Amino acid sequence: MTALNAPSRLLDRTRRPPLEPLPRVTLPPVQKRELSNGLPIRLVEQHSNPQVVISIVLQSGGAVDPRGKSGTAALTAELLDAGTGSRDALGISESVEFIGASLSFRAGADATFGSLLTLNRHLGEGIALFADILANPIFPLREFERLKAHRLTSLVEQKDRAATVASNAFMRVIYGEEHPYGMDPSGTEESVSGLTRDDVCGFYAEHYGPSNATLIVVGDTTMADIISLLERQLGHWKGAPRRAAITIPPPQAAPRRVYLIDRPGAPQSEIRIGSPALARNSPDYFPATVMNRVLGGQFSSRINMNLREKRGLTYGARSAFIFLKQPGPFMVAGGFTGSGTGEAAEQLLLEIGAMHREGVTDQELEFSRMGLSGGFALSFETPFQVAGALQNIVLYGLPDDYYERYIQSLASVTSGDVMRVARATLDPDAMAILVVADAAGTKGGLESLGRGEVIMLDTGGAPR
């Protein structure tokens, strides 16, 4: 079969096709229930594929690790599938593998997330496993020792990765090691070395329970299919007593200094610039997001166009607001040609400064709002994407109609809003610069930024 149309000799290729109005995104309804023990259930049906995601959001993560015991929440999450009253670690793993499911428990700064992805024909077995792991872990000492050693080795390995070293040290520099966001949730060699099985059991007893969690189910199933299963498997779960919301102190301003971690012979320099900025539930979320898309949030952003497409200094440079329960960081990041390290840092500061002083043009504002609206249509294809949206609502206390109003919220952002947020969050003089690079080749260029003597740090981000 050949094409239906004869080739048009009159086709004017310089004319781009007209822009059509964006499709209306119809969000599937969220069904709400509660188990007899009070555990909230949220279900979104998605029948286009035979998959189901079961996900738990626990309102406690690395940020509530006991002082000096950074890594506790992460290790607790990882140890959940290491044994229950009726299954040992190998048995659990075998059962999960056999049904082709993927199981994961991990702690971020603000929360612990667990998920099981399975084909719907294995859903009964999947729910039984997931519930058992969540409600009945016994944290066998041998498994604790094994995973602790594994984590310690991972922390050693992590030091080989310049990008990870840079991002972790950056958080430590701008929040300080006293602040919960200053420490990576996976902990440090020192803190993890000191952890005991009692720390893990203690964290579980204090934080894991139906009053501190929400269970989210998305995929090819119905409430009728799952509710009795969930009630039978999790309805008895008592867990931790209800607790007051944990307050994390607001961050201090970032020091206006340049920090350097030496990586002798490194062919590239990882640069991070930024400061603590905005919380996820901030009213400035939408203006900040619109602004960031112009500054460094997409390929055709100012930062990427300048540093990559104009100067060829990088494979890609970007900026982001990382929105957390408390103000999370604004951060510019990228890997840059070693010989161009000073130039790259200088240009990044200039781009941040220009946005801070002048905001966005009307054209940029429209471009950004439209792009974010169009991207919204792409955000609900997979069960994980839908579950992620529900997690945001649950974790950050966003209104239930947050996503219904999303397009409208974007449309209402004005250039004045962007200007106000740029003034408040993007002052380059209130930002720290963290670089992982070959010190011998880059220190001179960094000192010429006029931020005083470069401060040398070790790979963990502590002063040398």
Partner 1 sequence: MPGLKPVTYEQYALANGLSVILHRDSASPVAAVMVMYHAGSRNETPGRTGLAHLFEHLMFKGSEHVADGDHFRLLQEIGAMVNGSTSEDRTNYYEVVPSNCLELALWLESDRMGFLPGAVDQAKLDNQRDVVKNERRQNYDNVPYGTSYETIAREVYGPGHPYSWPVIGSMEDLSAASLEDVKGFFRTYYAPNNACIVLAGDFPRNQAMDWIGKYFDPLPRGITLTKSALSPAVLAEDKHLVSEENVALPRLFLAWPGPSRGTRDDALLDILTTILSSGKNSRLYRPLVFEKKIAQSVNAYTEGKEIAGMVTIDATAKPGTGLGEIEKCVHEVIERLFADGVTDREIEAAYNGKEAQLAGRLTTALGIAGGLATSFTLTGDAENFNREITRFQGITPEEVLAAGRRIFSSRHMTLNVVPRGRSSLASPAAAWELTYAGLPAPPAPAGTP
Those residues whose C-beta lies under 8 Å from the C-beta of residue 149, and which sit 6 or more positions away, are none
For partner 1, the closer of residues 281 and 379 by Cβ is: 379
Dist CA 129 CA 94 (whole Å): 11
Q: Which residue number, 253 or 411, has a Cβ lying nearer to partner 1?
A: 411
Q: How far is the CB of 443 from partner 1 (least distance, A)?
A: 18
Nearer to partner 1, 376 or 402 (CB): 376
- Check if the beta carbon of residue 413 is closer than 8 Å to that of residue 238: no
Residue 124 or 235: which CB sits closer to partner 1? 124
Kind plus residue range of the DSSP H or E element containing 415:
helix 415-425
For the bound state, the minimum distance from the C-beta of residue 274 to partner 1, rounded and expressed in Å, comes to 20
For residue 126, the minimal CB distance to partner 1 (Å) is 11
Most distant CA atoms of the chain, gap in Å: 78
Closer to partner 1 at the Cβ: 93 or 281?
Answer: 93
Torsion sign over Cα 344, 349, 351, 352: positive
Give the nearest distance from C-beta 213 to partner 1 in angstroms: 26
Q: Which residues pair with 63 in a beta bridge?
A: none
Q: In 278-414, which residue ranges form alpha helices assigned H by DSSP?
A: 285-295, 302-304, 341-358, 362-377, 383-396, 406-411
Range list of β-strands (E), 190-346: 213-219, 258-262, 268-278, 314-321, 328-337
- Beta-carbon contacts of 217 under 8 Å, excluding residues fewer than 6 positions away, are 41, 42, 43, 44, 52, 53, 54, 55, 226
Q: Considering beta carbons, is residue 122 or 207 the nearer one to partner 1?
A: 122
Q: Which is nearer to partner 1, 5 or 247 (CB)?
A: 5
Three-class SS state of 434: strand
CB of 210 to partner 1, least distance (A): 29
Least spacing, CB of residue 21 vs partner 1, in Å:
7
Closest separation between CB of residue 370 and partner 1, Å?
A: 6
In terms of phi and psi (left: phi > 0; alpha: psi -120 to 50; beta: otherwise), the region of 187 is left
Kindly state the smallest distance separating residue 246's Cβ from partner 1, in Å: 33
Ranges of beta strands (E only) in 134-233 are 213-219
Which residue lies nearer to partner 1 by CB, 214 or 306? 306
Q: Are 303 and 311 spatial neighbours (Cβ–Cβ below 8 Å)?
A: no
Q: Could you tell me if 345 and 273 are in contact, meaning their C-beta atoms sit under 8 angstroms apart?
A: yes
